[in-house]
Structure 1
Amino acid sequence: MDSIDLEVLKTCDAWIRAGMACELVTVVKTWGSSPRPEGATLAIGGNGQVVGSVSGGCIEDDLIERVQREGIVRELPELVTYGITADEAHRFGLPCGGTIQLCIEPLSARSRISELLQRLEQHELLSRQLDLHTGEVRLETASPSQQLVATEDLLLTVHGPRWRLLIIGAGQLSRFLASIALGMDYQVIVCDPREEYTNGWHVDGVKLVHAMPDDLILDMQLDSRSAVVALTHDPKLDDLALMEALKSEAFYVGAIGSRVNNAKRRERLKEFDLSDADLLKLHGPIGLYIGSKTPAEIAISILAELTAVKNNVLLPAEVNVAHAKAAMA
Structure 2
Amino acid sequence: MDSIDLEVLKTCEQWISQGRRCELVTVIRTWGSSPRPEGATLAVNEDGQVIGSVSGGCVEDDLIARVREQGIVHTHPEIVTYGITADEAHRFGLPCGGTIQLAIEPLSARSRIGELLTLLSQHQLVARRLDLASGEVSLGPAGAGMAMQVSEAALTTIHGPRWRLLIIGAGQLSGFLAQIAIGMEYQVTVCDPREEYRGSWQVPGVEVVHEMPDDQVIAMQLDARSAVVALTHDPKLDDLALMEALKSPAFYVGAIGSRANNAKRRERLKLFDVTDDELARLHGPVGLYIGSKTPAEIAISILAELTAAKNGVALPAEVSVGNAKRAAQQLASEPSCGLAD
TM-score (norm 2): 0.73
Shift of 1:182: 6.2
Is the 1:169–1:232 Cα contact (8 Å) retained in structure 2? Answer: yes
Change (3 A) 1:16 1:320: same
* 1:145 match: 145
Q: Which amino acid in structure 1 is aligned with residue 22 of structure 2? A: C
Instruction: Summarize the alignment of residues 75-86 of structure 1 with structure 2, pairs less than 5 Å apart.
Output: 75-86=75-86
Matched, 1:64 2:64: yes
Change (3 A) 1:129 1:198: farther
Shift of 1:54: 0.6
Instruction: Summarize the alignment of residues 92-171 of structure 1 with structure 2, pairs less than 5 Å apart.
Output: 92-161=92-161, 163-169=163-169
Matched, 1:213 2:206: no
* 1:269 match: 266
Shift of 1:62: 1.2
* 1:284 match: 285
TM-score (norm 1): 0.75
Shift of 1:268: 4.0
Is the 1:222–1:245 Cα contact (8 Å) retained in structure 2? Answer: no
* 1:26 match: 26
Q: Which amino acid in structure 2 is aligned with residue 116 of structure 1? A: L
Is the 2:81–2:101 Cα contact (8 Å) retained in structure 1? Answer: yes
The sequence identity of aligned pairs, in percent, is 61
**Could you list the per-position Cα deviations for residues 55-104 of structure 1 after superposition, in whole angstroms to 9, with x for gaps in the alignment?**
12111111111112111111111011112222222222223342211000
Number of matched pairs:
319
SS in 2 for 1:96: helix
Shift of 1:292: 4.5
Q: Which amino acid in structure 2 is aligned with residue 254 of structure 1? A: G
Change (3 A) 1:248 1:140: closer
Return the alpha-carbon distance in structure 2 between the equivalents of residues 24 and 249 of structure 1.
33
Instruction: Summarize the alignment of residues 7-22 of structure 1 with structure 2, pairs less than 5 Å apart.
Output: 7-22=7-22
| Further displaced range: 126-135 or 283-292 | 283-292
**Could you list the per-position Cα deviations for residues 152-174 of structure 1 after superposition, in whole angstroms to 9, with x for gaps in the alignment?**
11111111227454444577876
Return the alpha-carbon distance in structure 2 between the equivalents of residues 44 and 221 of structure 1.
35
Q: Which amino acid in structure 2 is aligned with residue 21 of structure 1? A: R
Is the 2:246–2:278 Cα contact (8 Å) retained in structure 1? Answer: no
Shift of 1:215: 11
Shift of 1:25: 0.3
RMSD: 4.1
Q: List gaps (5 residues or longer) in structure 1.
A: none
Return the alpha-carbon distance in structure 1 between the equivalents of residues 33 and 191 of structure 2.
41
SS in 1 for 2:37: coil
SS in 2 for 1:48: coil
Return the alpha-carbon distance in structure 2 between the equivalents of residues 88 and 197 of structure 1.
58
Change (3 A) 1:276 1:109: closer
Shift of 1:234: 2.0
